[in-house]
Amino acid sequence: MAKAFASQGDMTEKKITFDKVGEGLYAFTAEGDPNSGVIIGDDSVMIVEAQATPRLAAKVIECVRTVTDKPISHVVLTHYHAVRVLGASAYGADQIIMGETARAMVVERGQEDWDSEFQRFPRLFEGHESIPGLTYPTTTFSDDMTVYLGKRRVDLMHLGRAHTAGDIVVHVPDENVMFTGDIVEDHSACYCGDGHFADWGLTLDNIASFDLDAIAPGRGGALIGKEAVARAINSTRDFVDSTYAPAARVAARGGSLKEAWDAVREACDPKFKDYAIYEHCLPFNVARAYDEARGIDTPRVWTAERDLAMWADLQG
């Protein structure tokens, strides 16, 4: 391997922000690290995204305790990735909720994803010894589900494939705020290594149809106001399209993965090179775009060994 993944050298602790995105609604963000969301109901709290470890989850809980002393009753996980789910035990919630497809992906590839992400993100997995094991939900659903936190209604929905096959979003109708997971990012690269490029834009259309007042995205800052929401949806769409189209052209003429890498860099570097985690995501994004363009609908399972083999190919 000519050099390490960009994320392996990123050991600088990120500045945490805790922004109000609606009444009783907060976004926990950290300069491009995975975000979490907080929904305060009448008697209890729902967390959206658990973080990678109990150590990081404790930082979310610390922020929650600055605004409420209500118990945390629910943890909602928008998809199966290790950096999102392995901190769930820290919250002591009675209910851990995932979409049914996301749970199936934990069963199918959860351990491989954990092993892969563990080597990619050493800083996020500091304190990994406290992770009790893979996170499984107590409750799942197929298309949509409503949870009531007292009188506060929270709608959980699968609006289409995007970042993974099992993505869900969390909508709070009384404030028209959505927690989108990694379907929407802001000034942060989309990780597309397990994505579905052809569907992603349609899923973004479904999100846009809510005419939202705020979004807590998967990574990047809170998006408050319709203008900020529209900008982030459009920039996410541009990122996904700009990644897929060059790789698809290379695949259509029988070109190599390395040629796809060069073509995607040429298209994306001028627009996105200073986005958070851009260099980390790029090799995985190119590999998945190249596969999808060649008709591979189900993303291949990433393992620590496959990561390194792919990276070696791209480095020539």
pLDDT, tens digit, 9 for 90 and up, residues 106-115: 999 999 999 9
Model pLDDT for residues 14-28, shown as the tens digit of each residue? 789 999 999 999 999
User: Residue 315 has what pLDDT?
Assistant: 75
User: Hey, what are 269's tokens?
Assistant: 């570097």
Model pLDDT for residues 90-102, shown as the tens digit of each residue? 999 999 999 999 9
Q: What is the mean pLDDT of the chain?
A: 94
pLDDT class of 308 with cuts at 50, 70, 90? confident
Round to whole Å and give the CA distance between 223 and 188: 13
pLDDT class of 2 with cuts at 50, 70, 90? very low
Q: CA dist 193 to 115, 116, 126, Å?
A: 15, 12, 23
**pLDDT of 5 above 70:** no
**pLDDT of 131 above 50:** yes
**pLDDT of 9 above 60:** no
| CA triple 274-279-282, angle to 5 deg | 120
User: Residue 121 has what pLDDT?
Assistant: 80
Q: Residue 139 in contact with residue 198, Cβ under 8 Å?
A: no
Least reliable range by pLDDT among 11-15, 38-42, 52-56, 276-280? 11-15
Model pLDDT for residues 157-210, shown as the tens digit of each residue? 999 999 999 999 999 999 999 999 999 999 999 999 999 999 999 999 999 999
Q: Residue 302 in contact with residue 5, Cβ under 8 Å?
A: no
Round to whole Å and give the CA distance between 150 and 155: 14
Long-range contact set of residues 251-257: C-beta below 8 Å, sequence gap at least 24? 251/290, 251/293, 251/294, 252/293, 257/286, 257/287, 257/290, 257/310, 257/313, 257/314
